[in-house]
Amino acid sequence: MKAYVFPGQGSQKPGMGQEIFNEVSESRDLFKKANKILNFNITELMFEGSSEDLSQTKVTQPAIFIHSVISALTSKSFEPNVCAGHSLGEFSALVVSNSISFEDGLKLVSIRANAMQKACQETNGTMAAILGLADNIVESTCNEIEGIVNPANYNCPGQLVISGEVKAVKEACELLKEKGAKRALILSVGGAFHSELMSSAADELKKGIEKTEFKTPNCPIYQNFTSDPVKNPSIIKSNLLSQLTGAVLWTQSVNKMINDGVKEFYEVGPGNILQGLIRKIDNDITVGKI
């Protein structure tokens, strides 16, 4: 079985998508359609923008989504048995599995990105990468801290990202270092993604999801919020909302895919972050890129 996986925020890079646009003629209509849907020239930012231009959440998320989906839809080798996406990447997975259209997917990603950027501006939040500790130690330590701090991304064994209020995250980092963390590094991000500080963004996204038609995908989607394979549209919608304020269970999702018979993983989109994480989860599995 083959799994195709789609990256989230952090995989953006200057020039992303330019090669596909130049070499794959059928991609050009989709790039142009994206500009029209968003009402600004995102392809110009993707092809010619700086790292700083691409670092704004309202640009980053649509750019990664566009690159990922077009890469899959124009690939002759794209034949998924299952799909999954890391955070934002879940929307890419839903489009390529025919659960939602490209147009609706991009509209939802834009709503999500703008709402998350607004929530970041309205709250005092941050994230930190914790390396070298068991998940249960990180979880219990977060529970000891006053204020909002919680596990946000279970990326691979020994790498868990926490998220929440700046003061609480910093206190958790100090305590985790005392408990033996190899590193507890505050990340350069705009806010506290995948924490309750994103609740206002979830409210905005809910309005968009309620107006969008979701169909049964043509393959199971292993969703971040539960790590379970899902094909029921109503459960898919619920999990998409819960994901904004809940943790990304990536390690758990990959392990479940492997246990369910997946032998090969292919990352679709910019960067190779997910390939590296999957190798750390199971070094015997076949990992590649399209």
Give catalytic residue positions: 87, 194
* DSSP one-letter code for 84: E
Sheet holding 125-131, edge to edge: 149-156, 159-165, 125-131, 183-186
Query: Strands 159-165, 149-156: parallel, antiparallel or unpaired by DSSP?
Result: antiparallel
Phi then psi dihedrals of residue 257, to 5 deg: -60, -45
Task: Count the Cβ atoms, other than its own, within 10 Å of residue 199.
Answer: 12
**Rg of the Cα trace of the chain?**
18
Quote the CA–CA distance of 119 and 189 in Å, as a whole number: 13
Query: How far is CA 265 from each of CA 49, 65, 66, 84, 289, rounded to the nearest angstrom?
Result: 30, 19, 20, 10, 8
For residues 17 and 43, is the Cβ–Cβ distance under 8 A?
A: yes
* Residue owning tokens 């994480």: 277
Relative to beta strand 264-267, strand 286-289 is parallel
Distance CA 176, CA 174 (A): 5
Amino acid symbol at 89: G
